[in-house]
A and B are shown apart, each in its own frame.
Chain A
Amino acid sequence: MSTTAWITTLQFAGVNALFALSIYATLWTGVLSLAPIFFGAVGAFTFGYLAGTVGLSPFLGLVLGVVLGAALGALTAALVIRLDSHYLAMATIAMVLIGRVLVVNLTELTGGAAGTLVPGELGTWLWLIGCLVVAGYVLARLAKSRFGMAADAVREDAAVAQTLGISPRRIQLVGFVISGAFGGAAGVMQASFLQYIGPDTFYTHLGFVTLAAVVLGGAFHWAGPIVGAIVFTILPELLKDVMGEYDRVVTGVLLVVIIIFVPRGLVDLRRVRLLRARSRQDPPRAGDDSARPTAPQEVTA
């Protein structure tokens, strides 16, 4: 592969990572949602339309994408959060399908089936890495916050979380707002790199690729989706050189293997902690059963 092709691939890995973080934000609260693809579409087409008609600056376009996405996230949550898990997932997939219908039919705004051109000023490494750093930082800071611990609790056992005073719907609403903000930004970034967007830009393929990235990388730590998106975008390109048309088969098989052998994904603190517990139990203990474990305390991960 040529250097330019590599650079393009890596840039799309970065945008996919942003979408994957958006999916992660709701998954963190126990909700499987593909709505980020829809949020991305709305952000991107709004940006394209306003840039074309009133000359909206790219930076304001990105800000608008974040704000619009967050508002849509809240609205989506209000509509679907009552549904049971798999019906909720279905409803968000339906949003992706409806998004395409809207793009095709709102010709005035979206360019319809022909699509529309978008300014490419934001399509640079600087903006991409900037967005990823901000998104990663926000999630890392939230990880051990009041919200983050509640999100962990809701995902692991919503009923028990409730008896601790946590309202799962409230937590999930916040998850949707964060997801919306990231999704809107990801859409604007995607559009900026492509400089052309159409009905198929934000569709099921993008949804499944980014969802696979989350599953592969791990949905239990914010770094998981980033790792997953990079691996899952680069690997097919690498394989294409050797495998030709069969690269998708290999990535599919890889996904299945990961689901079977590391179901919690590549980045998984729990696995690290389990391994540590095992190594800790190995040294023989003193005779008294009630004695404290004698293994030295290790550094917290």
Chain B
Amino acid sequence: MSSPTRSAPDAGVVPDAGAPSAVSIVDLTKSFGGLKAVSEVTIQVPTRRIHGILGPNGAGKTTVLNMVSGFIQPDKGSISVFGDEVTGLSPHQIARHGVARTYQNIRLFAGMTVLETVAAGAYLKRSSTIPGAIFFSPSERRERREVRDRATDLLRQVGVRAEPDALAETLSYGDQRRVEIARALATEPRVLLLDEPTAGMNDAESHEIGELLLELRGSGLTLILIEHNMRLVEEFCESVSVMNSGAMLAQGAPSWCLEQDDVKEAYFGKRSDAARIATLRRARRGPGGS
């Protein structure tokens, strides 16, 4: 907790004394070779919060998410989910703690249809056995029906427009990102990590994602998203963490954070002015990247 991050008062970033945070990241550090990708980052996200992680390219945002989901192991620091320490666990164990995620560079399963992709996400929710499947027991049949119905519901909820039997990899980027969200939701997570969910989407589509985030939070989820669309962040995120070069710059309410001089500087260099803030608000990135 040694980082000199400034926090806005009443932003809820400082943990409550009572209930454990949904996600608690403390002093997280990761180097790649000589490069400090993430340096002593501390983030507390309370339950049922929509929390944004912001920062310019290469700030270390994805690396933080990768460590929370167990994709890569931190050099130092700890991560807990609803009070349970998950540092050092493998991704499938962390998934069992209720953490699901999407990817900045979309990662769907080749050859699967939209419906199959989402159904694959229901693995933890299924209980059928190999003999049950081979003998096609009544419970197996019921489970398959339930999985299909649930996947169909999720696809409708996230707003996928394509047919459920279309090959997932042939969809538009927007729909592919929505299918990824549906696949993550099929695990019935308590925490959903989204890495640039609106990349490649237009304003209307992005806004739909924002509405979806609100709906999901309403159903009890905690959401952490990396997002470059500042309008979306200001409208839907209740708190943000701004990173630059692996370090935490500021945490708190979005409007407060974006007014901080070093945040402006991180995004635009020394000369920050209102015109550039406007650019920032429109900032949008295409899909791809690390």
Instruction: Name A residues whose Cβ lies closer than 8 Å to a Cβ of B.
Output: 137-138, 141-142, 144-150, 152-153, 156-157, 159-168, 174, 220, 264, 269-270, 273-274, 277, 280, 290, 292-293, 297-298, 300
0/1 per residue, B162-198, Cβ < 8 Å to A? 1101110010000000000001101100000000000
- B112 proximal to A (CB < 8 A): yes
Residues of B within 8 A of A174 (CB): 130
How many residues of B are in contact with the other chain, CB < 8 A? 47
Is the pair B133, A166 in contact by a Cβ cutoff of 8 Å? Answer: no
Q: For the complex formed, measure the closest distance between the CB of B247 and the CB atoms of chain A, giving whole angstroms.
A: 27
Q: For window 99-135 of chain B, which residues contact chain A by CB distance below 8 Å?
A: 99-101, 103, 107, 109-113, 116, 119-121, 123-124, 126-128, 130, 133-135
Is the pair A146, B128 in contact by a Cβ cutoff of 8 Å? Answer: yes
- B92 proximal to A (CB < 8 A): yes
- B71 proximal to A (CB < 8 A): yes
CA distance A300 to B114 in the complex (A): 12
Is the pair A293, B162 in contact by a Cβ cutoff of 8 Å? Answer: yes
Listed from nearest, the 8 A-B pairs whose CB atoms lie closest are A145-B133, A162-B91, A165-B95, A270-B111, A165-B124, A156-B109, A146-B126, A273-B167
Is the pair B165, A163 in contact by a Cβ cutoff of 8 Å? Answer: no
Closest to B116 in A: A149
Q: Which residue from A142, A160, A269 sits with its C-beta under 8 Å from B133?
A: A142
A144-B144, A152-B116, A163-B71 are known contacts; what are 19 more A-B pairs with Cβ within 8 Å?
A137-B134, A141-B135, A149-B120, A153-B120, A156-B112, A157-B107, A160-B107, A160-B109, A161-B120, A163-B69, A163-B184, A164-B187, A165-B92, A270-B110, A293-B161, A293-B162, A297-B163, A298-B165, A300-B165
Is the pair B167, A274 in contact by a Cβ cutoff of 8 Å? Answer: yes
Q: Which residue from A142, A277, A280 sits with its C-beta under 8 Å from B130?
A: A142
Q: For the complex formed, measure the closest distance between the CB of A83 and the CB atoms of chain B, giving whole angstroms.
A: 17
Residues of B within 8 A of A146 (CB): 123, 126-128, 133, 143
Closest to A167 in B: B92
Q: For window 25-84 of chain B, which residues contact chain A by CB distance below 8 Å?
A: 69-71
Q: For chains A and B in complex, what number of residue pairs have CB atoms within 8 angstroms?
A: 115
0/1 per residue, B206-218, Cβ < 8 Å to A? 0000000000000
CA distance A290 to B201 in the complex (A): 12
Is the pair A145, B96 in contact by a Cβ cutoff of 8 Å? Answer: no
- B90 proximal to A (CB < 8 A): yes
Residues of A within 8 A of B70 (CB): 162-163
Q: For window 9-34 of chain B, which residues contact chain A by CB distance below 8 Å?
A: none
Is the pair A162, B165 in contact by a Cβ cutoff of 8 Å? Answer: no
- B227 proximal to A (CB < 8 A): no
Instruction: Name B residues whose Cβ lies closer than 8 Å to a Cβ of A.
Output: 69-71, 90-92, 94-96, 99-101, 103, 107, 109-113, 116, 119-121, 123-124, 126-128, 130, 133-136, 140, 143-144, 161-163, 165-167, 170, 183-184, 186-187
Sample of 9 A–B contacts (CB below 8 Å)? A142-B134, A144-B144, A153-B123, A160-B107, A163-B69, A164-B92, A165-B124, A269-B111, A297-B165
Q: Which residue from B96, B119, B134 sits with its C-beta under 8 Å from A141?
A: B134
Q: Which residue from B123, B127, B184 sits with its C-beta under 8 Å from A166?
A: B123
Q: Which residue from B91, B133, B187 sits with its C-beta under 8 Å from A159?
A: B91
Closest to B113 in A: A273
Q: For the complex formed, measure the closest distance between the CB of B92 and the CB atoms of chain A, giving whole angstroms.
A: 4
Is the pair A156, B111 in contact by a Cβ cutoff of 8 Å? Answer: yes
Residues of B within 8 A of A163 (CB): 69-71, 91-92, 94-95, 99-101, 184
Residues of A within 8 A of B170 (CB): 274, 277
Residues of A within 8 A of B165 (CB): 273, 297-298, 300
Is the pair B161, A290 in contact by a Cβ cutoff of 8 Å? Answer: yes
Residues of A within 8 A of B99 (CB): 163
Q: For the complex formed, measure the closest distance between the CB of A213 and the CB atoms of chain B, giving whole angstroms.
A: 20
CA distance A79 to B235 in the complex (A): 53
Q: For the complex formed, measure the closest distance between the CB of B248 and the CB atoms of chain A, giving whole angstroms.
A: 25
CA distance A174 to B101 in the complex (A): 26
Q: Which residue from A138, A264, A277 sits with its C-beta under 8 Å from B134?
A: A138
